[in-house]
Amino acid sequence: MKQLDVKLMHPVEQINMVIGRIYRTGMTTTSGGNISIRDNNGDIWITPSGVDKGSLTVKDIVCVKKDGSIEGLHKPSSEYPFHKAIFEARPELTAIIHAHPPALVAFSIARQIPNTSITPHARFICGEIGYAPYGCPGSEELGKKIAREFINNNYKAVIMENHGVVLGGTDMMDAYQRFETLEFCCRTIVNAGKLGKVNTLTNKQIENYQSHFTSDINHFTDANYPSDERALRSDMVKIIHRACNQGLMISSFGTASVRWNESDFLITPHNVSRWNITSDDIVQVKNGVAEQGKIPSNQILLHQRIYELNPHINSIISTQPVNLMAHGVSGTKFDVRTIPESWIFLQDVPSVPFGTAYDNLDDLALMFNKYRVLLIENDCVFVTGDKLLNTFDYLEVAEFSANSLVMAASVGPLCPMGDAEIDELRIAFNVK
């Protein structure tokens, strides 16, 4: 069952689900943040004022009717004025999220606008970001300042000076994806800045990237689902949800695939929120053709070539965790000669230039003969392995190691293990 169904779930259920997720993933505090939905009648459903975000229930959500009357057990959020102002300014937006997640607040208090062009994906989901000057929380004046940004520039996300962020979406999932993607984009920029310079892409590079990935793929109709295929679907769903809960994947980005028979495999769908994926969403790919009625990840061709050219690989995860991407965005070498576990599990991890994912498909696929993990600059990390759980473990080890390196940058220069220690590990753990 979907955790968030924007078509059929009542607004109170959607709000309750999403505010719970935002709280559990460390993107708001007990008292901070508020979210709302405008329904077809023009009524606005919003989180209440002064109720613990960690234990909210559907009964706590308040409805402000179109005529201004209020229904519910509590007062609406004190920030209701700016929610109302945004809904009035932008009829196509039906969901709003406001919160104070740490990386976005860092930009808000440094009075800077994040450049989302660190990856094509962040740019595509978040777009250009607006900036609203400071206003007293809860005031009509603050509402006007924010609405001005939403009206004048058509932004869907606005940094609030010395406060936080407010984002809109065409539905609650759209708003959530923009919110989470922007916060992870900011965390990546902050971490990349600790390692070196933050490299961004030009509009031309981003357009070029997008033009290379097509969802125009052939489909077959006679899919069948034997027990071993169903078991793999179930494993994939569990690992993808786990990756989202561990901060290794976000709702709008991340692809996983598992080899099923020879070069046939199962892969995540395009455009389904990763933590909302169910077994039914997973796409079966046979002879390079996808099962009917589903759109596979736009990385389908690369995954296919990796399986074809690397018989030892049976699962692949590609994603954008904030510390690995800090290396990928700053052009910093991801040196895994940190602790024995990192090197034993990952061996050396090369970086390849942006664009390699479509410029040299076969060359990239062949690199996995030698390397288990690869970083594509300003794009993503690819992790490969035999069993899906092992691949997931490599991803965790890689992101933890990258996190230690980012932290070490504030402590002192990295002192990597030497060649003698690496040779010793090579022999002791039978690494080729």
Q: How far is CA 59 from CA 15, 330, 401, in A?
A: 11, 46, 43
Helices 388-411, 227-245: axis angle to 10 degrees equals 20
Edge to edge, what strands does the sheet with 70-71 contain? 70-71, 62-64, 44-46, 34-38, 95-99, 164-169, 157-160, 130-132
Q: For residue 79, give both structure tokens.
A: 């920030």
Q: For residue 48, give both structure tokens.
A: 């209440």
| Cβ atoms of 266 and 232 closer than 8 Å | yes
Active-site residue, selected from the candidate residues 13, 79, 149, 308: 79
Q: How far is CA 211 from CA 118, 215, 216, 298, 378, in A?
A: 18, 11, 12, 11, 17
Interatomic CA distance for residues 75 and 383, integer angstroms: 48
What's the length of the chain?
A: 432
Half-sphere exposure for 87 (CA within 13 Å, toward CB):
24
Interatomic CA distance for residues 297 and 214, integer angstroms: 10
CA-based R_g, the chain, Å: 23
Sequence-distant (≥ 6) Cβ neighbours of residue 407 within 8 angstroms: none
| Cβ atoms of 248 and 321 closer than 8 Å | yes
Burial of 56 (0-12, 13-18, 19+ CB in 10 A): middle
Catalytic annotation present for 291: no
Alpha helices for 196-262 (secondary structure H): 203-212, 227-245
Report the Cα–Cα distance between both ends of the chain, in Å, rounded.
44
Q: How far is CA 326 from CA 112, 128, 129, 185, in A?
A: 19, 20, 20, 10
Q: For residue 63, give both structure tokens.
A: 């409805």
Residues taking part in catalysis = 79
